[in-house]
Amino acid sequence: MSDSNSKNFRTDSPLDIARWGNPSSDDALLKRDNDDIFEDSKVLVNIGPTHPAMHGAFRCMAKLNGEIIEKSYCEFGYTHRGKEKLGENRTYHQFVVYTDRLNYCSALINNVTYAMSVERLMGIEVPERAVWIRMMCAELARVIDHLICVGINAVDLGAFSYFLYGYHQREKAYTLIEKLCGARLTTSYTRIGGLMSDAPDGWERELKEWIKETRDVVDEMDRLLTENRIWMKRTKGVAIMNREDCIKYSFTGPNARAAGLDVDLRRDQPSMFYDKVDFDVPVAQTGDVFDRYYVRMEEIRQSLNILTQCADRIKKGPIWADDKRTRIPEKDRVYNTMEGLIHHFKFFMSGFDVPKGEAYTPFEAANGELGFYIVSKGGPTAHRMRIRGPSFWHYQGLDPMIRGEYIADLVAALGSINVIAGELDR
């Protein structure tokens, strides 16, 4: 009788090790029962590019031995839009809208990072209020991104109502973002040297109400799912990526912290005012699906803490850097004076010049390190606009992660590393 599909197959008990060998080595995992008439019957399974479990247009081919994945390879590029090429052919101001479509779950973080990287090349310092607003945007986007990641991961494994709790809160967050910039998903909120518009009066108060609600909702979500026996069985010990593998495959962000790789650029390389706020960096040790889920849940709480501190400390003030090169002229001046009109025309038609130089500006995005490597040779367009998206490197780690796991766990692993197609394909 074959019981190779039972859970006993990969326990660490001495009986099982005697029967099937050490489960930690790859060969032993694939060793089959002698009585199995289907031994060595290999099946190819294609998942994607359009499959509800794939969260975007990418494809995974897996070679199965029974239910166990022997080898897989991933294909993507279905949403490749040539953003890096566009970055070399659009002015710095025009490229802001393209950054929304990178990680579309947390568009504000991309906006903020891009604005920071260009400002760094130009040596511009934005005023204090703009920095606080940008920090609040980044943390709000991080909460949204983590809510959707843990929600969708749970939906894939069958916990549908859990997802709706998070989604409700996410919609309210989008309403807050809409009050900031008029758009919900494709925000384009930052400008080089400032922001599109100031936060409306009372926005911080509404944000604080939302934080209070979200705290309760996250606690409720935690109670609903974390200790659930089915959830634990589906996630604990599944798709392990340990610390060494994380370094090999350049994992960053929550996925690396789940494996004990304690790097958070907000704490280690504080940009903006992250050195002035108080927060903890959650770190787990195993690096399985459960740890990735739980690190994200804890990070939501920490982000809410940061948001509260930002909302308390923000003061009235200007939102534009005092720099004539990047400041978009006031509409009043544009419509009523000749000089203003010329300024407006020159700004939008030919753009502003960025001095010669090159800089790599990383920021801790929701999924990991998002970096813009901009090479400027002078002039209004970049010579090279490299976008280092975390998903590219995480998706590469999927194959070693799921080797020797069940095919059903592929869905859990993919949901837990939160690969976003827009950032992967660029």
In whole angstroms, the minimum distance from the beta carbon of 274 to other proteins comes to 8
Amino acid identity at 26: D
Backbone angles phi, psi at 148, to 5 degrees: -70, -35
Told to check if 131 binds other proteins by CB under 8 A, we report: yes
Residue 242 binds to other proteins (criterion: CB under 8 A): no
Output 20 or 279, the one with its CB closest to other proteins: 279
Q: What angle do CA 168, 173, 179 make, to 5 degrees?
A: 135
- The residues pairing with 388 across neighbouring beta strands, listed in sequence order, are 371
Nearer to other proteins, 237 or 270 (CB): 270
Segment lying near other proteins (by CB under 8 A), choices 30-38, 161-169, 309-317, 369-377: 369-377
Rounded distance between C-alpha atoms, residue 9 and residue 15, angstroms:
11
Q: Given the complex with other proteins, which of 148 and 366 has the nearer CB atom? A: 366
* Binding piece for other proteins, criterion CB under 8 A, among 91-99, 175-183, 189-197, 365-373: 365-373
Asked if 98 touches other proteins (CB under 8 A), the answer is: no
In this structure, how many other beta carbons lie within 10 angstroms of the beta carbon of residue 77?
A: 13
Binding window for other proteins (CB under 8 A); candidates: 71-79, 94-102, 158-166, 184-192:
71-79
Q: Out of 361, 367, 391, 416, which residue is the one contacting other proteins (CB under 8 A)?
A: 361
Alpha-carbon distance of 305 to 68, in angstroms, equals: 42
Tokens of 408: 């059903």
Q: How far is the CB of 347 from other proteins (least distance, A)?
A: 18
Interacting residues of 264 by C-beta distance below 8 A, sequence separation 6+: 257, 281, 364
Query: From the CB of 46, what's the least distance to other proteins, in Å?
Result: 8
92 binds other proteins (CB under 8 A): no
Identify which range of 177-185, 223-231, 268-276, 328-336 contacts other proteins by CB under 8 A: 268-276
Figure out which of the listed residues 65, 153, 271, 418 binds other proteins, where binding follows CB under 8 A.
271
Distance from C-alpha of 222 to C-alpha of 426, rounded to nearest angstrom: 34
CB of 253 to other proteins, least distance (A): 13
Question: Does position 51 bind other proteins by CB under 8 A?
Answer: no
Distance CA(169)–CA(185), nearest Å, equals 15
The residues that bridge with 191 in the sheet, in sequence order, are 194
- The CB-of-350 to other proteins minimum distance in angstroms stands at 18
Q: Beta strand 369-376 with 68-75: parallel, antiparallel or unpaired?
A: unpaired
Which residue, 26 or 75, is less far from other proteins as judged by CB?
75
Reference 367, options 214, 224, 199, 254; nearest CA is 254
Residues in contact with other proteins, shown as a per-residue x/- string from 244 to 263 under the rule CB under 8 A: ---xxxx----------x-x
- Asked if 317 touches other proteins (CB under 8 A), the answer is no
Residue number, 347 or 393, with CB nearest to other proteins = 393
By DSSP bridging, strand 42-47 and strand 194-195 are: unpaired
Asked if 408 interacts with other proteins (CB under 8 A), we say: no
Q: Which of 94, 269, 286, 305 binds other proteins (CB under 8 A)?
A: 269
Residue 72 has which token pair? 């897989």
* Out of 5, 26, 50, 73, the residue judged to bind other proteins by CB under 8 A: 73
For residue 392, CA distances in Å to 171, 251, 397 come to: 27, 10, 9
Residue 349 vs residues 89, 208, 295, 343: alpha-carbon distances, Å: 13, 40, 46, 10
Decide if 312 contacts 134 (C-beta within 8 A): no
The residue from 23, 260, 270, 379 that contacts other proteins (CB under 8 A) is: 270
Q: Which residues in the 110-129 window bind other proteins by CB under 8 A?
A: 116, 119-126
Least distance in angstroms from the C-beta of 105 to other proteins: 21
**Considering the complex, what minimum distance in angstroms separates the CB of residue 321 from other proteins?**
11
Binding piece for other proteins, criterion CB under 8 A, among 79-87, 149-157, 162-170, 175-183: 79-87
Residues found near other proteins in the complex (CB under 8 A): 44, 46, 61, 63, 71-73, 75-77, 80, 82, 84-85, 88-89, 116, 119-126, 131, 247-250, 261, 263, 265, 268-273, 275, 355-363, 369, 371, 373, 375, 383-384, 386, 388, 392-393, 396-397, 425-426
